[in-house]
Structure 1
Amino acid sequence: MVMKRWTSLALAAVLAAGLLAGCGSKSGEDAADKGETPQANLNETGMPIVNEPLNLTFFTGKSPTNGSKFEETLVWKTYQEMSNVNVTWNLIPFETLTEKRNLALAGGDYPDVFYSARVGSAELTRYGEQGVFIPLNDLIDKYAPNFKKLMEEYPDIRKGLTMPDGKIYSLPSFYDPALLSMLIGTPLWINQEWLDQLGMKEPQTTEEFYAYLKAVKETDLNGNGLHDEIPFSSTGITGIIDHLKGSWGLGTSGLGHKFVDVDPDTGKLRFTKALPEYKEMLEFVNKLYMEGLLDKEIFTIEGGALNAKGQEGLLGSTIVPNPETVMGRKEYIGLGALKGPHGDQLYSHVKVPMVHVGAFAITDKNPNPEATIRWMDYFYGDEGAQFYFMGKEGETYTKSGDGQLEYVKEITENSNGLTQDQALAKYFTWLGGSYPGLVKESWFKGSETLPSAMAAAEKAKPYAVKEILYNFNFTIEETDVMSSIGKDIQDYVTEMEAKFVNGSASFSQWEEYVNTLNKMGLDRYMEVYQAAYDRYQAE
């Protein structure tokens, strides 16, 4: 066992060393070679950001829908020319991002910037206090006018970014709170053509949704003589749980806090995953699974394989950004809030507008933080954000007489048969999310702002969560509790959710499950969570 542990540690060290080999920025050397300090090389306003070329290295999360060379995309090639800042993008697939990010931070071999790397509040607090992430408060005040203005317009941003030590260590991915379709992100979609074939109305309740899925299973709706239709599929069960829990009155605070919400009766936090209502909701999902209404591969399928099934016309219902863009299917409509068995009708699948608190963080290895934050601030203003999402007029988008922006036909109706997302990957890197920046309807023309997604949001609007809780920032001591007791509890819940749904755990074990949570320290977990919530409310 000692040898195995030593081998694992040695391998981790090798991986940490190899992961970001060559990540050290040459930017300081560039300025030194020309007899300049980084400050002397900086232009405080306008473009270029620096007079002499500046090289930076980014640790970057990559979704499956992104291309493999960010440097070759239109947006980054153009911005390099504008800013005189050369970025080397070390791309890390989202599937392995957490492991490799933690490895890089723990091993000390990290680059100038973490970009789209999903750095969490706990990491920002811990590594901020250690000096790995540098505080941005003064840099924002002096060099980031766009982001400073945004914080003034939306005070919750400052509240959510400020760590317990009073410092800000990151810039976020921020969605316009008025753009509900973006906050929903991945609606629950249903096949309208199959509804019509079945002579069924759009489901308004959980039981009507069940009846539709059952009818899909029993009918050859694609007319190929095979019962190969899949009533519902998604990448895992989290999506369907997050959509359905509002039908049992849970998820009152949105998706920012998956394990707790605010009890509407007491105003205090409650741990939803042990409530009787949650058990009843899981029993409903278990019924779907046991009757073959959920994809048999739902626990293992990845996004590419799910999209392929959609492209084949096999899905009765799914949860994706939009079947139109990722599957090339236009026959789906988004459902609103389904009414549950006790009359609850809450649309709980609503993200926090500041969806990723640690989307952009500068490290202590970066000798040019002033230029770096200027580089990022451009994308928090209207001009930069429009450029980031839409590109160049005439090349990637056109503008109508009333000022509406639309992608060119080569993107929306690709001559090579590519889906919109596949065509976009040549020009942009925002696909897949997690990017730092500002999203507004006027310039964001992705899946979430297509007419079908906007229509889904309109259905959801009357029942959508009203008081969305932003992230809470825990102290170092509280972080220790959340990363030990809290992580154990959350991992156990996730494991048991899957077992309850797939039938490997019986619901007769529910009391045992709740008792186990209590023994694991649920009271302490909630005490810490409540303390952070109280601070959040007091700010």
Structure 2
Amino acid sequence: MKFKKQMKIAGTVLLASSLLLGACSNKEEVSKEKEAPKNLNETGYPIVNEALTLEMMGQSSPLQPNWGDMNFFKKMNELTNIDFTYRTSTSDQYAQQKQLAFTSMELPDLFFGANFTAAEEVDYGAQGLLAPLEGLIDQYAPNLQKVMEKYPDLKSSITAPDGHIYALPGIDTSTTSQVPIMWMNGYWLENLGIDKRPETTEELYQLLKDYKEKDPNKNGKADEIPLTASSVAELRYHFMPAFGINQQGGIFEKDGKVGYAFVQDGYKEYLKYLNRLYSEKLLDQQVFSHTWEQYVAKGAEDLVGVFPTWPIVMVGYADPALGANYPLLPPLTSEFNDQKLMTKLSEIKRGRAAITSDNEHPEATMRWLDHMYSEEGTYLARLGVEGENWEWDDKGNWKLLAPEGMNTTQANAQHAPGAGSPVPMVLEQEFFAKEDNPTIHLISGWIEDEYLPYAKLPFPQVYFTEEEQAKLNTIKPDLDSYLEQMEAKFVSGQASIDGEWDNFVKTLNKLGAEEMAKINQAAYDRWAEAK
């Protein structure tokens, strides 16, 4: 294995060069059908006659157990004769562990719940560390091919500029996945006799003050946290649109012109707003430091008023019907933006699974992954095993099952990786329409009425050329690090927003903000021309 990895490193430069010079011929070569390995069944199950054990790496959810204990993986092993060892970590650690896997050349056979960015796909693909998949898809993935036929933009959306597909996607057209959601504690509204939800940033400020000062949880203590989030960065999607900034990864497009969001005047006003909330203790004072467990514990103790995490997770109630008591925070306007605006999320979820060049059984692995794109595979990945984790009722609706002491969300996460991890699945609105859960349908109606009319995609899904990606790889780490550092200082009051703003913008541009916008402009222009 070590010799193999040393040879891979030695060949990386040559491989990258060959990709640049011969992407088309490479694609044709990869797409040619090869003779199937003797241990592989090209159709039907099991996928292999003699058992295989591969290594998998992925992003887990804090609610999930060890993946090997999940019914999903046990069932897939029974069905396919393919087992795995697992290297998982939650989102806080996964990005670092994923990067370490590539820099150390200790690659798994499969990334599942991969959460690859487009940049990572292009970068690691060009280095020869991720296997090109289009030939394997043509030969061993009939379910994914059907999905591509149903969604004509899918194939082009996951094809890198060199013509290769390096990572497999998910599809999610469900209403609840179209926009980021911000929830309100309806019990607190009722306790304070408030029947009108805020529509402007100033009205929200007044509501948060009431939450802080009027003991809405009725415990006789001044312990309320009016607004919280798992991190301060999570607030961007919910509140920057109120100041006219609709961005994705710091990039936005307006009338064909691409810009960098964090040098805009709207971002400056957003920072001032958060600083106002933080300085008056209306924003969680631990938003920069708390762990996920500490964060959700505040919801369980009825300490939070407005938050971005689903209430059944944040509060932890057992009866799903109680979700009806947590209304949406409406889209807000401000004195700087009088138009309601929400950030729309793409239905195509890129980068969810990838086969590495260390995998000696890519054909069998592709067949394993292709099962996720069937109706049966999607139900298994998202719900777990029928009869154990969920069941059909006599009306043709599915219902999650939960043991005593767990709510359905917690129970679902114990056995279905799709409940919390970004794995490849085909989640369509029709799937969720069959759920025997009146409350989720109520919430979907709220989103359709209150959010979706104002939702706009900030930037299309694009890929960059290898030259562009190399520049971004140099720019983005320092840019993001400086932004995170200064955002915390501005919001917490450690740095003066007015006093430091010009230097902040100058430093961002010096670190490459303008160059990043130019690169994204070029990618956008190619996308628009090919559309």
**CA distance 1:456–1:307, change in 2 (3 Å):** farther
**CA distance 1:180–1:347, change in 2 (3 Å):** farther
Q: Distance in 1 between matches of 2:332 and 2:37?
A: 57
The one of 359, 364, 369 aligned to 1:376: 369
The one of 323, 348, 367 aligned to 2:311: 323
The one of 350, 355, 362 aligned to 1:362: 355
1:20 alignment partner in structure 2 = none
Task: Give the CA deviation at 1:452.
Answer: 5.4
Contact 1:390 1:443 in 2 (8 A): no
Per-residue Cα deviation, 1:306-333 (whole angstroms, up to 9, x for no partner)? 211111111111110x112442243311
2:183 alignment partner in structure 1 = 189
| 1:534 correspondence with 2:522 | no
Greater CA deviation, 121-130 or 158-167? 121-130
Greater CA deviation, 166-175 or 332-341? 332-341
1:301 alignment partner in structure 2 = 290
TM normalised by structure 2 equals 0.86
2:240 alignment partner in structure 1 = 245
Q: Distance in 2 between matches of 1:46 and 1:345?
A: 54
Greater CA deviation, 458-467 or 216-225? 458-467
RMSD (CA atoms) = 2.3
The one of 234, 246, 250 aligned to 1:259: 250
| 1:424 partner amino acid | N
| 2:152 partner amino acid | P
Q: Distance in 2 between matches of 1:258 and 1:326?
A: 25
**Structure 2, gaps ≥5 residues long:** 1-5, 7-34
Q: Distance in 2 between matches of 1:512 and 1:90?
A: 42
Q: Distance in 1 between matches of 2:488 and 2:170?
A: 30
**Secondary structure in 1 aligned to 2:57?**
strand
| 1:344 correspondence with 2:338 | yes
Q: Distance in 2 between matches of 1:158 and 1:335?
A: 36
Per-residue Cα deviation, 1:212-269 (whole angstroms, up to 9, x for no partner)? 1110100112222111111011111122221111112221xx6xx2211112xx3211
**CA distance 1:344–1:141, change in 2 (3 Å):** farther
The one of 5, 25, 39 aligned to 2:37: 39
Q: Distance in 1 between matches of 2:218 and 2:455?
A: 40
Task: Give the CA deviation at 1:293.
Answer: 0.2
Q: Distance in 2 between matches of 1:496 and 1:372?
A: 44
**CA distance 1:190–1:384, change in 2 (3 Å):** same
| 1:439 partner amino acid | L
**Secondary structure in 2 aligned to 1:125?**
helix
Q: Distance in 2 between matches of 1:427 and 1:467?
A: 33
**CA distance 1:65–1:141, change in 2 (3 Å):** same
Task: Give the CA deviation at 1:350.
Answer: 3.0
Q: Distance in 1 between matches of 2:430 and 2:452?
A: 23
The one of 134, 139, 163 aligned to 2:136: 139
Q: Distance in 1 between matches of 2:337 and 2:124?
A: 46
**CA distance 1:380–1:112, change in 2 (3 Å):** same
Q: Distance in 2 between matches of 1:103 and 1:446?
A: 42
1:126 alignment partner in structure 2 = 123
Contact 2:266 2:336 in 1 (8 A): no
| 1:480 correspondence with 2:477 | no
| 1:224 correspondence with 2:219 | yes
**CA distance 1:395–1:387, change in 2 (3 Å):** same
Contact 2:296 2:313 in 1 (8 A): no
Contact 1:337 1:345 in 2 (8 A): no
Per-residue Cα deviation, 1:311-365 (whole angstroms, up to 9, x for no partner)? 1111111110x1124422433112231222245334434322233x222111122
Task: Give the CA deviation at 1:368.
Answer: 1.4
1:29 alignment partner in structure 2 = none
| 1:88 partner amino acid | T
Q: Distance in 1 between matches of 2:51 and 2:123?
A: 33
| 1:504 correspondence with 2:494 | yes
Task: Give the CA deviation at 1:433.
Answer: 2.6
Contact 1:97 1:117 in 2 (8 A): no
Size of the aligned set, in residue pairs, is 487
1:148 alignment partner in structure 2 = 145
**CA distance 1:468–1:379, change in 2 (3 Å):** farther
Contact 2:397 2:436 in 1 (8 A): no
The one of 158, 170, 178 aligned to 2:155: 158
2:278 alignment partner in structure 1 = 289
| 2:267 partner amino acid | Y
Q: Distance in 2 between matches of 1:458 and 1:406?
A: 23
Percent identity for Structure 1 against Structure 2: 34
| 2:502 partner amino acid | E
Q: Distance in 2 between matches of 1:163 and 1:90?
A: 27
Contact 2:345 2:457 in 1 (8 A): no
1:280 alignment partner in structure 2 = 269
**Secondary structure in 2 aligned to 1:426?**
helix
Q: Distance in 2 between matches of 1:115 and 1:107?
A: 19
Q: Distance in 1 between matches of 2:133 and 2:457?
A: 28
Q: How does 1:91-102 map to 2 (within 5 A)?
A: 91-102=88-99
Contact 1:337 1:460 in 2 (8 A): yes
**CA distance 1:447–1:520, change in 2 (3 Å):** farther
Contact 2:48 2:80 in 1 (8 A): yes
| 2:363 partner amino acid | E
The one of 250, 268, 282 aligned to 2:257: 268
| 2:315 partner amino acid | M
| 1:524 partner amino acid | E
TM normalised by structure 1 equals 0.85
1:471 alignment partner in structure 2 = 461
**Structure 1, gaps ≥5 residues long:** 1-12, 14-36
Q: Distance in 1 between matches of 2:456 and 2:342?
A: 10
Task: Give the CA deviation at 1:449.
Answer: 8.2
**Secondary structure in 1 aligned to 2:178?**
helix
**Secondary structure in 2 aligned to 1:210?**
helix
